[in-house]
């Protein structure tokens, strides 16, 4: 099975539709901040023969696979091993016409059991998106205090049994270090009371999510990256963000909200220059996948899509107060 066969880009047609007006411009620069296996990027390059791609990914394995997939477009692509909050350094002042963030764990990372992201398969507890650097999930589990473990599970996993799960982890690691995903999943199941295990999917889902976010610093990175991408948009440029859980979506929503409303005091009868919104929302809140999308691609079930367009700055007038 090739990488094309295991990777179905989420909300592909909707992303193409939203980005099209910005990418139709001659020589447009398209940012794929989370390149993954290159599914969205390939579709953009096929749809827009004049577009140049800047593709970022923190996972060297993903970059290699995406590079092979996008080889037919070699003269129009630049692929960079970087975390997306490093965007300002990568762009070095260049602006983008369109961009996409497809957040969360990629198909490649989920499907490769050896990476330790999935609770359904036993593997070493790694969970690093970039295996060349950083702390592993096993190190977190075996070195964090009970309080820190509980905080990670509660904040990043929204796990109401966080303290109890942390207690089970600390007790287990005193006997033998935690190294495998199967044992961790079993331990979480033991920690969660039986009535609570009957609903909400696999009981270890929230714990694995929390560890992944902690290991990769995902929320801190996202909090820096989205404003940087918005700053890099040209007037008329568009950004699409796909989020997969409420913590991601909340940060994206906040970053967008700050720029889609005026900064002028509400009591003023006019809008002073420089206080106008710099973005226009292209979606009403977050768009959700329909039943057909979920049937075709079950990983789309939790996606939330938000999209914005950079507004042209209004022309200055000499008469203050005219409305």
Q: Residue 40 annotated as binding?
A: yes
Q: Residue 39 annotated as binding?
A: yes
Q: Is 246 helix (H, G, I), strand (E, B) or coil?
A: helix
**Could you give the count of Cα atoms lying within 13 Å of 13 in the half-sphere of its Cβ?**
5
- Give 39's DSSP letter: H
Distance CA 90, CA 71 (A): 21
Q: Which two tokens stand for residue 152?
A: 């990670």
Nearest Cα neighbor of 129 from 114, 115, 143, 146 is 115
Contact in structure between 131 and 58 (CB atoms under 8 Å)? no
Sheet with 29-32, side-by-side order of all strands: 77-81, 52-57, 29-32, 96-102, 233-243, 304-310, 279-281
Q: Residue 109 annotated as binding?
A: yes
Cα–Cα distances (Å) from 84 to 80, 220, 226, 232, in that order, read 10, 11, 9, 13
Q: Classify 239 in phi/psi space as left (phi over 0), alpha (psi -120 to 50) or beta.
A: beta
Question: Cα-Cα-Cα-Cα dihedral of 303, 297, 52, 100, to 10°?
Answer: 0
Q: Residue 217 annotated as binding?
A: no
> Which segments within the chain are labelled E, that is strand?
29-32, 52-57, 77-81, 96-102, 233-243, 279-281, 304-310
Q: Residue 202 annotated as binding?
A: no
Q: Residue 321 annotated as binding?
A: no
Q: Residue 99 annotated as binding?
A: no
Binding residue positions for S-adenosyl-L-methionine: 38-40, 57, 84, 102, 109
Binding residue positions: 38-40, 57, 84, 102, 109
């Amino acid at each position: 099975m090739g990488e094309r066969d295991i990777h179905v880009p989420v909300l592909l047609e909707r992303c193409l539709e939203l980005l099209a007006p910005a990418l139709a411009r001659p020589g447009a620069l398209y940012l794929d901040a989370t390149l993954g296996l290159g599914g969205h990027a390939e579709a953009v390059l096929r749809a827009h023969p004049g577009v140049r791609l800047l593709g970022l990914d923190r996972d060297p394995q993903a970059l290699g696979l995406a590079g092979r997939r996008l080889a037919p477009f070699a003269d129009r692509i630049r692929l960079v091993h970087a975390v997306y909050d490093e965007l300002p350094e990568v762009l070095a002042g260049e602006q983008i016409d369109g961009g996409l963030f497809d957040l969360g764990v990629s198909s490649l990372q989920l499907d490769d059991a050896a990476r330790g992201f999935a609770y359904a398969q036993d593997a070493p507890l790694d969970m690093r998106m970039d295996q060349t650097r950083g702390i592993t999930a096993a190190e977190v589990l075996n070195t964090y205090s009970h309080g820190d473990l509980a905080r990670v599970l509660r904040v990043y996993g929204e796990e109401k049994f966080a303290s109890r799960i942390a207690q089970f982890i600390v007790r287990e690691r005193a006997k033998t270090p935690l190294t495998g995903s199967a044992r961790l999943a079993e331990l979480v199941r033991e920690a969660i009371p039986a009535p609570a295990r009957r609903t909400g999917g696999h009981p270890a889902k929230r714990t694995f999510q929390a560890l992944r976010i902690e290991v990769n610093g995902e929320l801190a990175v996202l909090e820096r990256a989205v404003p940087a991408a918005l700053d890099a948009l040209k007037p008329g440029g568009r950004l699409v963000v796909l989020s997969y859980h409420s913590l991601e979506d909340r940060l994206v929503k906040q970053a967008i909200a700050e720029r889609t409303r005026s900064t002028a005091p509400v009591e003023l009868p006019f809008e002073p220059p420089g206080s106008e919104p710099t973005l226009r929302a292209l979606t009403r809140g977050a768009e959700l996948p329909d039943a057909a999308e979920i049937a075709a691609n079950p990983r789309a079930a939790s996606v939330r899509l938000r999209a914005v367009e950079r507004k042209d700055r209004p022309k200055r007038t000499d008469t203050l107060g005219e409305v």
